[in-house]
Amino acid sequence: MGLDLPAQPLEKSAAASPYRVLARKYRPQSFGELIGQDAMVRTLGNAIATGRIAHAFLLTGVRGVGKTSTARLVAKALNCIGPDGQGGPTIDPCGVCEPCRAIAEGRHIDVTEMDAASHTGVDDVREIIEAVRYSAVSARFKIYIIDEVHMLSKNAFNALLKTLEEPPAHVKFLFATTEVNKVPVTVLSRCQRFDLRRIPAEALVDHFRRITEIEQVSIEPDALLMIARAAEGSARDGLSLLDQAIAHGGGEVKTEAVRDMLGLADRGRIRRLLSLLLAGDASGSLAELDEAQALGIDPAALLRGLMEQLHAASRAKAGRGGDPLASAEERAASEELGASLGWSQLHRLWQLLLKGLSDVSLAPDPNEAAAMVLLRLVHAADLPDPAALIARLQGQGEGTVTAPTPRAAPPPAAPRAEAPAPQPQATSSLPGSFRDLVSLLEAKGKPLRAVQLTGQVGLIRFAAGDIALKPLQPLGANFARELEADLRAVTGASWQVTLSDGEAEPSLAAQERMEEERARDAILAEPSVAAVLSAFPETKLETVNPKDAQHA
């Protein structure tokens, strides 16, 4: 693995130098050690091989994916002279020549690193502008690495523009930022941009495993997986957590210790809680939450664990398999869960958890917010699947509509046994099409809602009690909820409205216009009409409203 300092024998490095944190010790020293950024490395390699080297590069991405490390590697690649001193720019810098070693140690006179967070003013940029006029002292290129470039002031950016657009041939600029949206477009247009991706958990697991082997640290596979997932695609964050876990365990990393350190719930607890929620067991779900709270488990981590379970079940249901890093037992559980839940229920639970995660982060007491989220999930799990409801309405289902997940139902009271269930009566006359539904809204005193559904949305899916729409215009944050309330008022049945960016039909208004155009074209194609238009060229075919014709 690469080190900040020149390579040393592994067995001697710990004793020969003071301790350095893993994130510094294993900073990539070559493009081959840069994990998860293969596309960028390939592009840079081709550019260097063909001599098409841009004068400015912008590296963007979340924290810890290798932006600054990449900038230093580019500086080495452009200035490497090879072990014999005769080499040129290369994607595989030797690491032993004087420019490579000086850049790795941060002492090369022609490679300047500047932290824009602490040097934000125009005076700092003016120093760079003055210095670029002079040739490099000993390197092939004079290179300026500006980290967190979005922190520069507006005046500083403006001062840099001219130099950035037409720098001297011996100067290269390398910018790094986590917030590319704050960089002016005028700067972006003058740079070759590379978006560094989050590093997949599988790649992080392999990377961390190699490091623990070099460090001679014993670590359990599940602990390694937890750290990789908690890193959220950041190698630096993951190495910091690994460092902490090694210190916490005294050189031996156990799964339980990592779970306690991260405030996570074990997967068995998550599956048990999800089963209680789907069974509608409110008391058992809250008891599980209380136990997790007593163990110091973060309520947000608990909700994220539930979301992971639902995501794995959805992937399994779609035929894409579960998490490749999960055990065979976990993948089998995901397949079983996906088979037992309908798509609408999976989507509904996911949206509730997503909203609940936001509530927990904003609430004064996260545990209270988590409890309310679990109660909402219990209620949602008890709702019937729209597909089962439709089957019942069409006479294809059993005598009662039940939730897709089995649960013990209380014995019915005597009066309810004598009276027919009210739900089929309330929904027996539901509109059979989306167009009929819009007409019903207009007839029932909801003209504004009918106008919205006519011209501002496209239909993705329609079934009794379930609509999916694609907004064609801004509709407001509460549109779906308000539409559900209006549909319940005019039909007497519960509806689920989903807004999505999927493929949709044209709006009803657009369909009407297309029908009018087709009818118009058919009329114009009639021989008699064509003859009239030929004889009287100024004749026009007009559409007349019947109401207007009555008053004419």
One domain for residues 282 and 159:
no
Inside any domain, residue 416: no
* Domain's final residue, options 195, 228, 247: 195
CB burial readout 418-435, b (16+ within 10 A) else e: eeeeebeeebeebbeebb
Q: Average pLDDT of 280-303?
A: 88
One domain for residues 40 and 181:
yes
Inside any domain, residue 467: yes
One domain for residues 280 and 332:
yes
One domain for residues 99 and 140:
yes
Report the range of poorest mean pLDDT among 221-235, 290-304, 382-396, 398-412. Answer: 398-412
Q: Average pLDDT of 484-511?
A: 87
More reliable by pLDDT, 496 or 475: 496
Q: Would you state the pLDDT for residue 421?
A: 39
Contact 56, 167 (CB under 8 A): yes
Inside any domain, residue 442: yes
Inside any domain, residue 228: no
Query: Please, which pLDDT band fits residue 528 given cuts at 50, 70 and 90?
Result: confident
* Domain's final residue, options 361, 381, 401: 381
Per-residue tokens: 549: 């014709």
Which CATH number belongs to the domain containing residue 366 in this structure?
A: 1.20.272.10
Domain total of the chain? 4
One domain for residues 440 and 495:
yes
Print the domain residue range for 297: 267-381
One domain for residues 80 and 168:
yes
H/E stretch holding 192: strand 192-195
What's this model's pTM, rounded to 2 decimal places? Answer: 0.57
Per-residue tokens: 531: 């003859």
Helices (DSSP H) in 93-153: which residue ranges? 98-104, 122-131
Query: Please, which pLDDT band fits residue 327 given cuts at 50, 70 and 90?
Result: low
Inside any domain, residue 472: yes
pLDDT tens figures, 17-38? 677 888 888 888 888 888 888 8
Inside any domain, residue 256: no
One domain for residues 146 and 279:
no
Q: Average pLDDT of 525-549?
A: 65
One domain for residues 186 and 99:
yes
One domain for residues 520 and 472:
no
Inside any domain, residue 284: yes
Q: Which residues, listed in sequence order, are joined to residue 457 by a DSSP beta bridge?
A: 471
One domain for residues 133 and 184:
yes
pLDDT tens figures, 199-239? 888 889 999 999 999 988 888 888 888 888 888 888 998 89
* Domain's final residue, options 195, 225, 258: 195
Residue 446: how many CB atoms within 10 A of its CB?
19
One domain for residues 47 and 175:
yes
**Burial classification of residue 447, based on how many CB atoms lie within 10 Å of its CB (0-12 exposed, 13-18 middle, 19 or more buried):** exposed
Inside any domain, residue 358: yes
Which CATH number belongs to the domain containing residue 163 in this structure?
A: 3.40.50.300
Give CA angle at 355 (467, 359), nearest 5°: 155
- Torsions phi, psi for 26 (to 5 deg): -110, 35
Per-residue pLDDT for 412 more than 60?
no
What is d(CA 357, CA 299) in angstroms, rounded to the nearest whole number?
9
In the DSSP assignment, the letter for residue 149 is G
Query: Please, which pLDDT band fits residue 9 given cuts at 50, 70 and 90?
Result: very low
Q: How confident is the prediction for the chain on average, in pLDDT?
A: 81
One domain for residues 93 and 55:
yes
Query: Please, which pLDDT band fits residue 1 given cuts at 50, 70 and 90?
Result: very low
Q: Would you state the pLDDT for residue 142?
A: 92
Query: Please, which pLDDT band fits residue 58 given cuts at 50, 70 and 90?
Result: very high
Tokens 């917030």 identify what position? 179
* 365 three-state secondary structure: coil
Q: Would you state the pLDDT for residue 8?
A: 45
Contact 376, 352 (CB under 8 A): yes
